[in-house]
Chains A and B, each alone.
Chain A
Amino acid sequence: DAGITQSPRYKITETGRQVTLMCHQTWSHSYMFWYRQDLGHGLRLIYYSAAADITDKGEVPDGYVVSRSKTENFPLTLESATRSQTSVYFCASTETSPHEQYFGPGTRLTVT
């Protein structure tokens, strides 16, 4: 039972580069989410998706792009990485919105 996986687990990139973080879940959950976690801020929602081809902004969407062509995948792209996007990124999924989420192991991204 693979659950929810993220890749890469660690990434170092340079300012201005495009980088894509991958998220894959095997439960066929309808909802998927991307969060970033920074010291002192807890987890903040970047984007979420209620189903394939349906996405919506969260609290901190600027500088990020998402897509969801298949139910099981929800990639997050930083179009032009900035140092302020250095963070730990978590992907999560849930079958229905009011219910609990399940998280992937996270991606630690450093932008130099």
Chain B
Amino acid sequence: RKEVEQDPGPFNVPEGATVAFNCTYSNSASQSFFWYRQDCRKEPKLLMSVYSSGNEDGRFTAQLNRASQYISLLIRDSKLSDSATYLCVVNNFNKFYFGSGTKLNVKP
């Protein structure tokens, strides 16, 4: 079983739409959680950390549900520039595990 699983998509949405991604992880002892963004196989860049209380950064909201072992990312008012692959990342005792990514295409 993979440590981190994501729906690969693609999610094709119009500009202005709200889109949500989920990610599940297998190790209940996981310590920290992140969403990264990756464009065209360039280096991943941190989008946001994910906290148990939930956190928001502009149009982006992340949630963590430890009981069900899933992480979510909500993007409101999608922009063309949001088109990318979103990677869910989980940290277990010095090791980071990546989901295979969810591809988002925002259409005009």
Which residues of A does B touch, CB under 8 Å? 31, 33, 35, 37, 40-45, 48, 50, 56, 58-59, 88, 90, 92, 97-106
| A41→B44 contact, CB < 8 A | no
Secondary structure of the A contact surface, majority rule: strand
A-B contact pairs, 25 of them (CB 8 A): A35-B98, A40-B100, A41-B100, A42-B4, A42-B100, A43-B98, A44-B98, A45-B97, A48-B94, A48-B95, A56-B94, A59-B97, A88-B41, A90-B43, A97-B93, A98-B31, A98-B91, A99-B32, A100-B34, A100-B49, A102-B46, A103-B45, A105-B42, A106-B41, A106-B42
Considering the complex of A and B, which 10 residue pairs feature the smallest CB-CB distances, nearest first?
A42-B100, A103-B43, A43-B98, A98-B32, A42-B98, A97-B94, A100-B46, A98-B31, A105-B43, A103-B44
How long is the Cα–Cα vector from A59 to B96 in the complex, in angstroms?
10
Which chain A residues border B93 with CB–CB below 8 Å? 97
With both chains docked as a complex, state the minimum distance between the C-beta of B103 and any C-beta of chain A, in angstroms. 12
With both chains docked as a complex, state the minimum distance between the C-beta of A36 and any C-beta of chain B, in angstroms. 11
Q: A37-B41, A103-B43, A104-B43 are in contact. Are A42 and B49 (CB under 8 A)?
A: no
How long is the Cα–Cα vector from A31 to B99 in the complex, in angstroms?
21
How long is the Cα–Cα vector from A60 to B91 in the complex, in angstroms?
17
| B43→A42 contact, CB < 8 A | no
How long is the Cα–Cα vector from A59 to B42 in the complex, in angstroms?
22
* Identity of the chain B residue whose Cβ is nearest the Cβ of A88 in the assembled complex: B41
